[in-house]
């Protein structure tokens, strides 16, 4: 992984959403993504896990600039596509061809009034690919075939399909423009258990065949661990740990990751009942007024005064195992 080429470089990325709260409609900000830095290498799958509201979806969307970042820097394949310091914000259209996204809810992300063929073909028209009618049709059929649907499905409407098939249409649409990088935003959480594994396998096959790079966002840690090479753990907008996916489960070093890993039930009665579970007190604080210092200190069993004052920085603790915690700095 060390020699692998960096496809995406994200530095100190922030995304704040303005909200008006309270009786006086005071303008405040939801700090959805706070100072996140990470690299994504060519051909890998980087998983992103965390609880709802931790900013993993926002991060995924901000990276491909579906949301305009508040500040930070994004470098894609050697070219800076956003840099708040130097006021760089390039036109995204040529990059949209390279960076695609698969959304969580397939029924909501497919236009109900367009046929499957139109949905997939729309991207081809925007980027002026396959201009000939026959070529275009052939490409659509090729894509449908790649995701395991029949070519005659292209004249049907999304509601005629099951959830799993709708997600396949969403994947075909993302693949239409021959992207290099795909953000998979909870692509399987809306699907039934027996269908989930079909889609996971298909995503893995497509990656192998087309040399894709994935950012795989999901709250189901077992699935993320299965599909990813490396996993990042987010808590309240910050990246708290980033490591190889096997390493992260066997040797988590951040207190939050330890809790998260121990909370996942394992489908094996003996194993799961014998496990020591670390229970967290309380709930996730509001991202409008996040705790000072380390954002996890209000729930962390090892928190010290230092954690309340200073924000820990993400550091490498060997073999690309990154974590942000004051305790580790001392050890």
Instruction: Tell me how far, at minimum, the Cβ of 157 lies from other proteins, in Å.
Output: 18
209 counts as binding other proteins under rule CB under 8 A: no
273 counts as binding other proteins under rule CB under 8 A: yes
In angstroms, the first-to-last Cα distance of the chain is: 27
264 counts as binding other proteins under rule CB under 8 A: yes
- Nearer Cβ to other proteins (49/239): 49
280 counts as binding other proteins under rule CB under 8 A: yes
Distance of CA 303 to the CA centre of its chain: 28
Q: HSE, CB side, 13 Å, CA atoms: give it for residue 82.
A: 23
Q: Map the footprint of other proteins across residues 140-179, applying CB under 8 A.
A: 162, 164-165
Instruction: Tell me how far, at minimum, the Cβ of 82 lies from other proteins, in Å.
Output: 31
How far apart are the C-alpha atoms of 228 and 48, rounded to whole Å? 9
274 counts as binding other proteins under rule CB under 8 A: no
Helix axis angle, 193-210 to 163-175, nearest 10° = 20
Instruction: Tell me how far, at minimum, the Cβ of 300 lies from other proteins, in Å.
Output: 13
DSSP state of 188: T
How far apart are the C-alpha atoms of 296 and 52, rounded to whole Å? 15
How far apart are the C-alpha atoms of 115 and 247, rounded to whole Å? 44
**Of 39, 105, 118, 204, which one interacts with other proteins (CB under 8 A)?**
204
Instruction: Tell me how far, at minimum, the Cβ of 124 lies from other proteins, in Å.
Output: 28
**Looking at 16-24, 92-100, 222-230, 288-296, which segment touches other proteins (CB under 8 A)?**
222-230
How far apart are the C-alpha atoms of 115 and 63, rounded to whole Å? 30
* Structure-token pair, residue 122: 């729309």
- Nearer Cβ to other proteins (77/244): 244
Give the number of residues in contact with other proteins, rule: CB under 8 A.
Answer: 43
**Looking at 28-36, 82-90, 152-160, 219-227, which segment touches other proteins (CB under 8 A)?**
219-227
How far apart are the C-alpha atoms of 103 and 109, rounded to whole Å? 7
131 counts as binding other proteins under rule CB under 8 A: no
**Looking at 77-85, 116-124, 172-180, 191-199, which segment touches other proteins (CB under 8 A)?**
191-199
Instruction: Tell me how far, at minimum, the Cβ of 205 lies from other proteins, in Å.
Output: 9
**Looking at 33-41, 57-65, 112-120, 273-281, which segment touches other proteins (CB under 8 A)?**
273-281
Helices (H), the chain: 56-63, 93-96, 106-109, 116-126, 133-146, 163-175, 193-210, 221-227, 245-250, 255-263, 269-274, 305-309, 326-330
**Of 68, 85, 178, 192, which one interacts with other proteins (CB under 8 A)?**
192
- Nearer Cβ to other proteins (71/262): 262
Instruction: Tell me how far, at minimum, the Cβ of 251 lies from other proteins, in Å.
Output: 12
Q: How far is CA 129 from CA 92, 122, 126, 135, 210, in A?
A: 17, 10, 8, 9, 18
194 counts as binding other proteins under rule CB under 8 A: yes
Across the strands, what pairs with 6? 41
**Of 269, 276, 305, 330, which one interacts with other proteins (CB under 8 A)?**
269
Q: HSE, CB side, 13 Å, CA atoms: give it for residue 223.
A: 25
**Of 28, 37, 262, 304, which one interacts with other proteins (CB under 8 A)?**
262
Across the strands, what pairs with 41? 6
Q: Which residues bind other proteins (CB under 8 A)?
A: 51-52, 162, 164-165, 192-198, 200-201, 204, 219, 221-223, 225-227, 246, 249-250, 259-269, 271-273, 277, 279-280, 283
């Amino acid at each position: 992984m060390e020699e692998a080429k960096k496809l995406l470089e994200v530095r100190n990325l922030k995304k704040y959403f303005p909200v008006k709260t309270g009786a006086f409609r005071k303008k405040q900000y939801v700090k959805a993504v706070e100072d996140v830095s990470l690299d994504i290498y060519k051909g890998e799958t980087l998983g992103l896990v965390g609880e709802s509201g931790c900013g993993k979806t926002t991060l995924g969307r901000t990276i491909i600039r579906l949301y305009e970042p508040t500040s930070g820097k994004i470098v894609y394949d050697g070219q800076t596509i956003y840099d708040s310091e130097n006021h760089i914000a390039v036109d995204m259209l040529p990059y949209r061809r390279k960076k695609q996204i698969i959304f969580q809810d397939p029924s909501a992300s497919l236009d109900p009034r367009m046929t499957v063929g139109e949905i997939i073909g729309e991207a081809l028209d925007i980027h002026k690919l396959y201009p000939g009618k026959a070529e275009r049709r052939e490409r659509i059929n090729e894509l449908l075939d790649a995701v395991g649907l029949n070519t005659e499905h292209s004249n049907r409407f999304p509601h005629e399909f099951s959830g799993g098939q709708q997600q396949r249409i969403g994947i075909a649409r993302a693949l239409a423009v021959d992207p290099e990088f795909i953000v998979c935003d909870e692509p399987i959480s809306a699907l039934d258990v027996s269908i989930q594994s079909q889609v996971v396998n298909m995503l893995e096959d497509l990656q192998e065949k087309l040399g894709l790079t994935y950012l795989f966002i999901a709250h189901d840690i077992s699935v993320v661990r299965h599909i990813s090479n490396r996993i990042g753990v987010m808590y309240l907008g910050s990246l708290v740990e980033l490591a190889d996916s096997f390493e992260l489960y066997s040797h988590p070093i951040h207190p939050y990751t330890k809790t998260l890993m121990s909370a996942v039930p394992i489908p094996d009665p003996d194993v799961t009942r014998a496990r020591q579970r670390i229970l967290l007190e309380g709930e996730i604080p509001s991202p409008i007024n996040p705790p000072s210092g380390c954002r996890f200190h209000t729930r962390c069993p090892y928190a010290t005064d230092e954690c309340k004052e200073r924000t820990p920085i993400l550091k490498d603790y060997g073999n690309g195992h990154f974590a942000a915690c004051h305790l580790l700095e001392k050890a």
